[in-house]
């Protein structure tokens, strides 16, 4: 409607103007249309918009992951046997020990689900410390630039914070016991090489990796899908074409 009105006014105006006046009017109309299509962003809006988007995405991701079956029933996140002991799973299933194997896999995922909720305050703290330069780089960066920022700024902190939670969670859901049972059963088999792995580190790393997969999914939705921009500020920042 605004564009049509400007065109009508411009046509009427040109009927009684000189060439110079017409050129000046055309430039003014073009500037107005350009501003309407892509309003300028202030540095404050960029920072606020990016922080709002990141907090929204990280909170939703942590909430999704921490629900029962948030990892276990999500093929993209499900934690399976560590690669170095997958031969253990194969061998134990071959001799009919499916239940301890299934219990172990479930317990690892339950541990990750218990720990995931602790990620939100760590994410929010990193987001609030974001600089203006960080915000502009994210806005103009790749589709997962915000996720990369969080990985850089929270990765080590998440590992440190998650470790005791994962340890307690593994104990609480009997994952450590199941792991001991599974590996002990395997190591007693004749003609096999004994296996060991750092279970806490393994589950910890995959729990964090899974969280970032969800954060990346949320970021992409906000960047690509206007419906996912639930506030005026998000619409303005992520709809910016400058």
Q: Strand, helix or coil at 38?
A: coil
Measured distance CA(119)–CA(134) in Å, rounded: 21
* pLDDT score, position 234: 67
Region 202-214: what's the mean pLDDT?
93
- pTM, entire model: 0.72
Q: pLDDT by residue (tens digit) across 17-40? A: 444 443 444 344 344 334 444 457
Helix (H, G, I), strand (E, B) or coil at 161: helix
Q: Minimum mean pLDDT among 70-79, 152-161, 171-180, 201-210: which range?
A: 171-180
Residue 81: which pLDDT band, with cuts at 50, 70 and 90? Answer: confident
Structure letter (DSSP) for residue 231: S
Query: What span, in angstroms and rounded, lies between the C-alpha atoms of 191 and 209?
Result: 35
Q: Is 153 left (phi over 0), alpha (psi -120 to 50) or beta?
A: alpha
Question: 3-class DSSP state for residue 142?
Answer: coil
Per-residue pLDDT reduced to its tens digit, 94-121: 989 898 889 889 989 999 998 998 899 9
- The DSSP string of 83-119 is GGGHHHHHHHHHTT-HHHHHHHHHHHHHHHHHHHTTH
140-162 mean pLDDT: 90
Q: First-to-last CA distance in the chain?
A: 23
């Amino acid at each position: 409607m605004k564009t049509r009105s400007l065109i009508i006014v411009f046509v009427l105006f040109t009927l009684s103007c000189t060439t110079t006046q017409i050129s000046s009017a055309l430039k003014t109309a073009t500037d107005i249309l350009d501003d309407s299509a892509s309003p300028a962003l202030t540095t404050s809006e960029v920072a606020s918009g990016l922080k709002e988007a990141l907090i929204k995405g990280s909170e939703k991701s942590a909430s999704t992951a921490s629900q029962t079956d948030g990892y276990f029933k999500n093929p993209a996140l499900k934690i399976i046997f560590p690669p170095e002991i997958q031969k253990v799973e194969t061998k134990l299933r071959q001799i009919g020990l499916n239940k301890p194997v299934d219990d172990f896999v479930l317990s690892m995922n339950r541990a990750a689900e218990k720990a995931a909720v602790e990620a939100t305050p760590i994410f929010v703290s990193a987001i609030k410390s974001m600089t203006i330069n960080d915000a502009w780089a994210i806005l103009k960066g790749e589709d997962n630039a915000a996720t990369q920022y969080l990985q850089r700024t929270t990765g080590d902190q998440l590992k440190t914070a998650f470790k005791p939670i994962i340890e307690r969670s593994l104990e609480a859901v009997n994952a450590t016991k199941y792991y001991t049972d599974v590996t002990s059963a395997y190591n007693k088999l004749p003609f096999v090489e004994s296996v060991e792995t750092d279970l806490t580190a393994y589950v910890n790393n995959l729990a964090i990796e899974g969280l970032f997969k969800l954060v990346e999914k949320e970021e992409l939705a906000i960047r690509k899908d206007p419906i996912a921009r639930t506030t005026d500020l998000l619409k303005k920042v992520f709809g910016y074409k400058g």
